[in-house]
Amino acid sequence: MKKSILLLIGILMSLNGFSQNVKPSGEEMIKIKGFISASAFMQDQDFKFSNGQNAEWAISDFNNGKWIKGFDVRNTRMTFVFNGPGLKKGWKMGGVLEFDFFGGYNGVSVVSEQQPLLRLRMAYMDFIKNRLRIRFGQAWTPMFGTVPVSLSHVAFPLGYGSAGFIGWRFPGIYAYYGLNSQDSNVKFRLDGAIFNGAWAGPGNLNNYGTAGNFGLPQMELKLNAIGEKWNLYAVVHYDKKDLKDCSCSDTEYLTGTAFEIGGKIKFGGFFLQGNGYMGKNIGQQLGAMVQVQPGNTDLSSVGGWLQLGYNFTKNWGVFGFYGFEDIDKEEALAAFENPRTKHGLYNIMIKYSEGPMGLGIEFLHSDLTSGKDDEITSGNQISLSGMYKF
């Protein structure tokens, strides 16, 4: 414990500017970067995945019009970027290690909520030569695309797993290849990945024993077109869960597929970004509002989101977001007793930024449709958030 405290003090003492470079005993350089995030919030409904900075959709088990009030710092993040030495034949290596504080809480005491635990986000090594980058470890899958702007919803962005924004990070092998010269006006890049299968049971969730681990690994392929002020991408996803071989079902296979397009563009003080997807059996990629069905019943879903922003001065901007998720109701009722079938989410933010600091006021509204009778649950959240980048 004493050594850990001394190490943390040493790290914090080094953070007196942006993205500090630290030279270890070897030839590589280590860049330490990240941000401190804090939010004050109030909301009139309980939310999944949790409240505060982790709110994604309203749930229907609350609370006679009362408002929750609280403060949240779990978005706070630290990233270590390793710029490694050169290797033989023109290869270079590097890596990234990244954490935030969404790893649950320390115990169940009266002060546990003020002691959030670290959570591993990314841990990978890179091997780079010319226009080729090979990544080995835990990283974002190609389906995780452009990210909505928000100061309150960072680690779990707006619409993530709830309104058209899908994708997750998995251990695997990733490859990125530039298809043309870096001097081209429009750059094309092909991303491919094969990575860990997953399914929320049946089976062992913590020891590679689910149907996703007995079937084929997940696979994705992505084509990117990147201009000076815009980018577009398209992604395809495929996986196969083997329900029979994990001794958890008499049925056999459950195939997951998805197709996604997205991008963003800047023009004047405006920018527009978003994505849309259609998929089947991809709850492990946060599709279908993270619903993972037992057995081999299909569960299809579509979703998408758009965000329009305008910076009307150097420091001030306003951002509007809308996203939706629509799950096949007949399939959902066949798989679950009380499924989530539809969700709409919008968010408005006024943001002030100067140097490494940003402040934002946000209003979020959620409308969830669930069950056979299309019960609608609505919830609102108002937040004031600050972020300091280092």
Q: Are strands 187-195 and 203-204 parallel, antiparallel or unpaired?
A: unpaired
146 located within any domain: yes
Per the prediction, the chain carries an average pLDDT of 91
Query: Is residue 31 a part of any domain in this protein?
Result: no
Q: What is the mean pLDDT of residues 160-173?
A: 98
1, part of any domain: no
Confidence of residue 17 (pLDDT cuts 50, 70, 90): very low
pLDDT reading at 268 higher than 80:
yes
What does the pLDDT read at residue 306?
A: 99
Torsion of CA 206, 207, 212, 214, to 10 degrees: -160
Residue 77 lies in a domain: yes
Provide the pLDDT confidence category of residue 210 given band limits of 50, 70 and 90. Answer: confident
Residue 19's pLDDT is what? 58
Asked if 74 contacts 52 with a C-beta cutoff of 8 angstroms, the reply is yes
Mean pLDDT of 309-330: 98
**Exposure string for 75-90, b = 16+ CB within 10 A, e = fewer:** bbbbbbbbebeeeeee
| Domains in the chain, number | 1
Question: What average pLDDT does range 217-242 have in this prediction?
Answer: 97
Contacts of 363 (CB under 8 A, 6+ apart): 347, 348, 349, 380, 381, 382
Nearest alpha carbon to residue 307 among 139, 176, 125, 157: 157
Contact 326, 303 (CB under 8 A): yes
pLDDT of 7 > 50? The answer is no
User: In the predicted model, what is the mean pLDDT of residues 182-187?
Assistant: 93
CA distances from 374 to 58, 234, 303, 341, 377 (A): 15, 33, 18, 8, 10
C-alpha dihedral sign at 202, 158, 385, 380: negative
Contact 304, 277 (CB under 8 A): yes
Whether 14 is in a domain gets the answer: no
Report residue 63's pLDDT band, with 50, 70 and 90 as the boundaries: low
User: Could you tell me if residue 299 is inside a domain?
Assistant: yes
| Cα gap 130→89, rounded to integer Å | 11
The answer on pLDDT for 18 being more than 60 is: no
**251 or 13, higher pLDDT:** 251
53: nearest Cα among 285, 390, 359, 381: 381
pLDDT for 9 equals 45
What pLDDT score was predicted for residue 294? 81
Give the closest residue to 167 by CA, choosing from 233, 244, 102. 233
Whether 336 maps to a domain, the answer reads: yes
CB 95: neighbour CB atoms within 10 A? 20
| pLDDT over threshold 60, residue 132 | yes
- pLDDT category at 2 given cuts 50, 70, 90 is very low
Least confident of 234-243, 290-299, 373-382: 290-299
* Residue 316 structural domain: 38-389
Which of 5-19, 92-106, 107-121, 364-378 is the least confident region?
Answer: 5-19
By the 8 A CB rule, do 275 and 303 touch? Answer: no
Higher pLDDT: 368 or 247? It is: 368
Mean pLDDT of 279-285: 97
Mean pLDDT for 51-67 is 84
Highest-confidence range of 25-39, 56-70, 218-232, by mean pLDDT?
A: 218-232
Residue 25 has pLDDT above 90, yes or no: no
| Selected residue with higher pLDDT from 276 and 8 | 276
Query: What's 359's domain CATH number?
Result: 2.40.160.10
The predicted structure's pLDDT at residue 24? 63
